[in-house]
Amino acid sequence: MKCPFCGYDDTKVIDSRPSEGKKRRRRECTQCGKRFTTYEIVERPALMVCKRDGSFEPFDRSKIITGISSATKKRAVSPEVISKIVDDIENKMANEMRTEITTAEIGDFVLASLKGIDQVAYVRFASIYKDFSDLESFIHVITELNG
């Protein structure tokens, strides 16, 4: 690690501790003796989403949050819960060392999460995700929830 004060290449770690999902390191330059702080985070590979038409686009948290927020509108589901669902998707892909996910996998994951959180939001999200075109589709999903 290069010293930000004198540019010398050799520094030593004085203290290391976790801080907000990062590793905080207090360092000291072995040449000038000045101290500075660095933060270490795990770099995740770029996650790409394979869409239904076969095209790819970068994973966009905000799109998923918007979709879930629409389904949970006027429901007792906090923004933190919604954010956790998206975090869980990202963490699952990172833990599996995957760089691609399909929209179907995202939709299924969100549905599975909503099923245990809010059944009305589950039905709302399913109606958009599964592209319901008739009343029978709604009845089928509601029947699955009750069964």
How do residues 44-65 score in pLDDT, each as one tens digit? 778 999 999 999 999 999 999 9
H or E element at residue 139: helix 135-146
Question: How far apart (Å, rounded) are the C-alpha atoms in residues 132 and 128?
Answer: 7
Enumerate the H helices of 53-134 as residue ranges.
Answer: 61-71, 79-95, 103-117, 119-129
Rounded to two decimals, the pTM is 0.67
Provide block-wise average pLDDT over 10 residues at a time, the chain (147 residues): 93 91 92 94 84 94 95 93 94 90 95 92 89 84 81
Query: 44 near 55, Cβ under 8 Å?
Result: no
Please give the pLDDT value at position 67: 94
pLDDT at residue 94, as a whole number: 85
Q: Which amino acid is at 145?
A: L
pLDDT at residue number 111: 92
